[in-house]
Amino acid sequence: MKFKKLIALLLSASMAVGLLAGCGGTGGTSSTPSGDAGSGTEESSAPADNASGESSLKGKRVRVVIGSTSTGGDSYMIADMVTRYLGEEMGFNGKVDAIGNAQALDTISKAKGDGTTIMMFHDMAYLSVLFGAVGEQYALENLTVGPRIGINPGGCFVAPADAPYNNLSEAAQWLADNPSETITVNIESGSASHLDFVVWYMWVQEQYGDEVASRVRALVGGTTDEKKQRLWDGNADIIYADYSSCVEFTREGVDAQLAMKLFDTCGDLEGSGVISMEEDGITFNGEPFVFDKDFFMLFPKDMDEGILNEITAAMQKVCENPDFQAELANLLYSNVTAEDADLEASRAFIENKAAIAQEIIDVAPTLDELT
């Protein structure tokens, strides 16, 4: 099946399921979040009275684990926002712990199904299983997929400002024109960066042949800060990072040794001026490649259904909160609608997206071949 048709089918299926299932909580109240968004160890304070009525989590401490160890990237920022607003809606005290993907998956798989532990993360949660970076015990079917919570179309490739190319297609042409050169790209194994990288690699292979593609190499691992340092030290030619974590280094007046250029976002990052992979002509199976980072909740397999429904309904209210929408938009993230956050619609969307990823992984080279 063609990639773009799969995307269209995915979106249509999700919307249809959401409409059929019905969306509770479409009249959410607006509340201003409290607490500091910048700390991974600070608890988000909740009001004395829960705006959505009595909640099973009211007055409880809720631990939110994320699949990143960074408190400066999109994973932490989105989880922190959602935790604060969801805590206000349900009356719980939430804390975000940035513990990394493998540990977060292990933690949520062993957690009690009472809602006091939630995993909030993006596609890497299932991509890491599909790529074989973590075990099958963490596959989606062995956990409980919860509501979608946000979208980041701003995962992108980043190079020094003085790099001799301005996007991925130019980088490939530069390699073709300079047969003694190589390009090393710093990515994370089993992640969205891994997926986007292998799609570009296969596109280079298709457009320029094996010899040029063989000079595209992967450097695996590292936090966002570690990847930026590798770029500055000359140990990586390109890194994959979030737009919001690197954009400050594109502004006028930045030290020349730190200056960066951003290109080829995974989705359409409106208002950024940064070209997307689709706009750059990067394709998979002949179709434009788009793969936004979609964030969602995960729970243990034996999650209490009633509490899960409460969390989903509260998340749907958060999705309609203008303050929440504005806070996401300020970072160029996109909110999902209440219909998108419907439990069955969320599951259909994520499962279909995982199927698209599997189609890519089935034909992609392994990291052993690319490092």
Q: Which of these ranges, 50-54, 58-62, 69-73, 285-289, has the smallest mean pLDDT?
A: 50-54
State whether 14 and 134 are in the same domain: yes
Domain membership of residue 225 (yes or no) is yes
pLDDT of residue 53: 55
CATH number at residue 251: 3.40.190.10
18 and 147 co-located in one domain:
yes
Indicate whether 35 pLDDT > 90.
no
Per-residue pLDDT reduced to its tens digit, 272-313: 999 999 999 999 999 999 999 999 999 999 999 999 999 999
What is the span of the domain harbouring residue 307?
3-152+294-361
Is 301 found in the same domain as 260? no
Backbone angles phi, psi at 350, to 5 degrees: -65, -40
Q: What is the mean pLDDT of residues 212-234?
A: 96
Task: Tell me, yes or no, whether 285 and 300 share the same domain.
Answer: no
Sorting pLDDT into bands at 50, 70 and 90, what band is 347?
very high
According to the model, what pLDDT value does residue 271 have?
A: 85
How much of the chain exceeds pLDDT 70, in percent? 86
Please answer whether residues 166 and 203 qualify as being in contact, where contact means their C-beta atoms are separated by less than 8 angstroms: no
The verdict on 226 and 94 lying in the same domain is no
CA distance readout (Å), 2 to 197, 284, 360: 19, 8, 11
39 and 23 in a common domain: yes
Residue 213 has pLDDT above 70, yes or no: yes
The answer to whether 162 touches 194, Cβ cutoff 8 Å, is no
Residue 370 lies in a domain: no
Report the alpha-carbon angle 262-263-267, nearest 5: 120
The single residue listed with the structure tokens 């249809």 is 16
SS3 of 304-368: the string is CHHHHHHHHHHHHHHHCCHHHHHHHHHCCCECCCHHHHCHHHHHHHHHHHHHHHHHHHHHCCCHH
pLDDT at 92 over 60: yes
Do residue 221 and residue 258 come from a single domain? Answer: yes
> Which tens digit of pLDDT belongs to each residue from 151-192?
999 999 999 999 999 999 999 999 999 999 999 999 999 999
d(CA 367, CA 104): 23
Predicted pLDDT of residue 55: 94
Query: What backbone phi and psi angles, to 5 degrees, belong to 245?
Result: -90, -10
DSSP state of 274: P
**What is the mean pLDDT of the segment spanning 60-80?**
94
pLDDT at 93 over 70: yes
Confidence of residue 41 (pLDDT cuts 50, 70, 90): very low
Residue 366 within any structural domain of the chain: no
User: Are residues 176 and 107 both part of a single domain?
Assistant: no
Q: Which of 290, 312, 329 is the last residue of a domain?
A: 290
Q: Which of 274, 290, 306 is the last residue of a domain?
A: 290
Name the domain boundary from 234, 264, 290. Answer: 290
Report if residue 368 sits inside a domain.
Answer: no
CA dist., res. 27 & res. 364, Å (int): 45
In a domain, 229, yes or no: yes
- Is the pLDDT score of 14 beyond 80? no
> Which amino acid, 302?
D
Q: What is the pLDDT of residue 44?
A: 39
State percent of the chain over pLDDT 90: 81
Residues 77 and 103 in one domain: yes
pLDDT of amino acid 267 = 95
Query: Using 50, 70 and 90 to split pLDDT, how confident is the model at 13?
Result: very low
Q: Tell me: do 331 and 260 sit in the same domain.
A: no
Number of domains in the chain: 2
Beta carbons within 8 Å of 58's beta carbon, 6+ residues apart: 50, 90, 91, 92
Question: Taking the CA of residue 351 as centre, how many other CA atoms within 13 Å lie in the half-sphere pointing to its CB?
Answer: 16
Q: Are residue 79 and residue 101 in the same domain, yes or no?
A: yes
Quick: pLDDT tens for 94-131. 999 999 999 999 999 999 999 999 999 999 999 999 99
Asked whether residue 367 is assigned to any structural domain, the reply reads no
Contacts of residue 176, Cβ cutoff 8 Å, sequence gap at least 6: 208, 212
pTM of the model: 0.82
Cβ burial, residue 202 (10 Å; 0-12/13-18/19+): buried
**Confidence at 50, pLDDT banded by 50, 70, 90:** very low
Confirm whether 78 is domain-assigned.
yes
Residue 85 and residue 179 in one domain: no
Is 178 contained in some domain?
Answer: yes
Q: What count of residues does the chain have?
A: 371
> Is the pLDDT score of 9 beyond 90?
no
Cα Rg, the chain, nearest whole Å: 20
Q: What is the CATH number of the domain that holds 76?
A: 3.40.190.150
